[in-house]
Amino acid sequence: MHQLCKATDIAAGSAKGFEVEAHALFVVNQGGDFFAYLNNCPHRGIRLEWQPDQFLDYERNFIQCATHGALFSVENGECIAGPCPGEKLTALACTLKDGQLWVELPKVTS
């Protein structure tokens, strides 16, 4: 597990991007629950955001890809609208411990 930041660094209804050991990822705080995903849109395999830490749609209900507007469920990363319906963001295990957020990085296979 890798320590990311304090839980209070990500306000409810917002998200934050990180670079950890060559992995781009982001964490969403939805009402005090934290969800982590690789920053990689399943449509084209590129990053989701154009602006730093802007991963959510206008109403902050969904994760949104800035390139073609795909919307993803915050809870499970599934695309529910846009060009890749049914495809999923890669979820990462995210744990809150002593006020700190920890994330499990994917295993690197070579």
Q: Does 88 bind ligand FES (CB under 6 A)?
A: no
92 contacts 36 by C-beta, under 8 angstroms: yes
| Minimum distance of ligand FES from residue 1's CB (angstroms) | 28
3-state secondary structure string, 5-59?
A: EEHHHCCCCEEEEEEECCEEEEEEEECCEEEEEECCCCCCCCCCCCCCCCCECCC
The continuous run of DSSP H or E covering 103 comes out as: strand 100-103
46: amino acid identity, one letter: I
Site for ligand FES in 55-84 (CB under 6 A): 65, 67-68, 70, 82-83
Is 90 a binding residue for ligand FES by CB under 6 A? The answer is: no
Return the number of the residue (35 or 72) whose C-beta is nearest ligand FES: 72
The token duo for 52 is 């730093």
Q: How far is the CB of 33 from ligand FES (least distance, A)?
A: 24
Closest CB to ligand FES among residues 26, 101 = 26
In this structure, what token pair is assigned to residue 31? 């009402």
- Among 25, 41, 63, 101, interactor with ligand FES by CB under 6 A: 41
43 binds ligand FES (CB under 6 A): yes
Nearer to ligand FES (CB atom), residue 2 or residue 43: 43
